Structures are given as C-alpha cells and as structure tokens.
Amino acid sequence: MEVAALVSGGVDSSVAVHLLKEAGYEPVIFYIHIGMEGMSDGGCPSEEDVEISSYIARRYGCRFETVSLHKEYWEKVVGYTIDAVCKGLTPNPDVLCNRYIKFGCFNERWGKDFAYIATGHYATTTIYDSLTWLSTAKDPVKDQTDFLAQITLPQLSKLLFPVGNLLKSEVRALATSHKLPSAQRPDSQGICFLGKINYNQFIERYLGTKQGDIVEKETGKRLGKHNGYWFHTIGQRKGLGLSGGPWFVVQKDVSNNILYVSNGYDLDAQYNNTFLLQNFHFITANPWIDMTFPLYITFKIRHTPDFTIGRLSRQGDYYRIDSAERLQGIAPGQYGVVYDSSCRLCIGSGMIVPTTEKERTFEGMKTEKYENKKKSFLANPLPMDL
C-alpha cells in the first residue's frame, strides 16, 4: 500500500521511512517547501534538507517529490502570526501549520491520492469505542501531541506516526546503525518559517517600533521603556533591560502600549490557577456530552513533558480550567491542550483568552500604519531584504 511520507531531512522523518519499509509499505517521499527560502544559513527549508531527503528516497528506492506551499503557508500561518502578535497575543504557528498546511493543503493536493500520510511526529493513535484518538508518544520529552491538537478526525484517520512508539535515543540509534546521514543532525528549534532569522526583526518589519512604559504591576511605578508590546509575551523574563529583578511580564495593555511586570515577590501578579479556552476543538469527538461538569482532566499550556491536573467546566461559550497547581505565564493566544485523566488521549484544544471581558477585547494596532503594513505583507509574502 502506498503511503505519502513527509520528510524534512531530519533524523525522525528519515527513520520513519526506514520503519515504513520494514513494515512492508512503499512510501512516496514528499518534501514541502514553505517559508523564507534562501534567507538564512541553516534555516528551514534548506538545500541540505532537500539533499538528505532525496538521498533517503534513493536509499530506499522511493519516488521523491518536492512540492511548494509557500503562498498557503504565508496566508494561513504567517499572516495569522502577525495578526495575533498585533493583538497582544502569543501565537503558536506550528499548531496551525499542522492543521492547515501539512495535513490540510498538502492532503487536498497530493495526499488525497494516498491511503495514509506518514510523518516523523512523536505521537501515536489509539482505537477506542471504534474511533481513532490522538494519543501520546512513548517519549514524554519529545511528545508532540500538543502541536497536533487542532487537527481533525479525517486528518488523524490518515496519519501514521512510525516513531511514536520509540524513544528519541532509540530513533538515533536506528539511524546510526543504518548509517543514515541525518543520524546526528540536531533537532530543529523554534518556528520553522523563521529559521535563524531574528524573531523581533521579523515582527518589526510589519509592526514597526513604538516606545511604551514598563510599569511595576504592584506599585504603578515606571521602571523603563520598551519598543512595542508586540515584542513581548506573558511570562517573559529575559530581554526587558531592567535591573533589580528577576522581572516577569505579567500583563499587557495593548491600547496604551504598556507592559506590566512583577519582580516575583507578589505571586498573585505572576501566577494563576484559572484560565479560559475559546473555540474549543475536539479532535475525534466530544467525550463529555453525557457527563456532569466539572470533570477531572490533565492539560498543558506550553510544550513540556509534564501534565497538570485540573478541573474542566463550562462558562458560557468558553471552557474553563481550574488548575491544581499555580501556573506561571499563562499567555493568551497559546493553546490549552486537554488530555484525559490518564495523560494518554489528547481530546483537543482551545485558544487561551484573558479571564475578564475587558481584557478579551483586543483592539491592538488597528491603525492606518498597521493596515498598510498588513496589505504590503500579504502582497509580498516572501520579503528578501531582512
């Protein structure tokens, strides 16, 4: 049976191809071109990635294709990122990339001709009540179900995760024993479309700079200046340029371009037990239809091997999570990812929003300057002058 294998040149997707061949599949290898081609020395994608991917194809006798989703990536992922940052949010582009690009646009154009799509993601699937559920990987440190928590059931039903039942050390050992060129390649870091391009430099291109005050949350004292709230995120510690810390960003006033910080002595300013999720997306099905709230669940609010226990309830159009632990740096715009009580099945996710109606109203930089930059951005999705 033919399988479309998405290969990036990294060790995980390379070993995924090896395992597919061992299992008797005949994968067709696809390399997806997305992002800022030629703008960084080692970014993603790169010539070395393509070279290794094509070598893997030749090594295992697989057909190899490179496909381009530049336009779609910039419209659906990068444009979303710029808009979210402008509104004072902390976006997670990788979550949207998986849903709309790798398993969305790719499947609509090429994957539709295959029974399965295989990737090097660290995740597994579980059949429960005759339905396919996204489930966690063997390696808790490398588990990537949080990045997959917005995919749909039709997408999930086509996915194969060959390395999901292996530890990262086992994946590297397999690559080494079979002399794969990616065996010792370092794991990719950060947002794929940026590569090694400075994140603040990228954001500045579209939102510019505008000085604002840094204010101590507890006292209202002005401590310094910043160049725009859009360069900062809730929970941030480094890059504030303040002495006498550590200082943490605890709130952003997007209307007045003010950063509120705390030095760690007032825990209430930094930590919270409660947050809301909007537009909650169930990957497979809603398992709570016949259940009485609140429910005990586990969840993540950032990419980490650790789960947190919490209670889930409904609050109007939102789902509310009350955490058993005080959480530092709950960042609106990130995704709260919900799992079952055993930390096994990934139920779905929703975007974290502030807890008051006033804070939920994001006007952001709805200025003529911003709108002009946004039009320029959409008209020229591959800037080459950074």
Positions marked active-site: 97, 192
3-state secondary structure of 318: strand
Contacts of 369 (CB under 8 A, 6+ apart): 208
| Enclosing H/E stretch for 128 | strand 124-128
Nearest to 350 by CA among 361, 341, 332, 337: 337
Omega cis (within 30) before 246: yes
Backbone angles phi, psi at 364, to 5 degrees: 60, -150
Backbone angles phi, psi at 313, to 5 degrees: -145, 170
Nearest to 336 by CA among 315, 354, 350, 317: 350
Omega cis (within 30) before 45: yes
Alpha carbons 122 and 42: distance in angstroms, whole number: 23
Q: How many CB atoms lie within 10 A of CB 64?
A: 17
Alpha carbons 175 and 179: distance in angstroms, whole number: 6
Write the CA distances from 220 to 210, 224, 234, 255, 342, integer angstroms: 20, 12, 18, 17, 43
**DSSP state, residue 156:** H
Alpha carbons 33 and 263: distance in angstroms, whole number: 43
Backbone angles phi, psi at 17, to 5 degrees: -65, -45
**Exposure letters 264-284 (e unless 16+ CB within 10 A, then b):** eeeeebbbbeebbbeebbebb
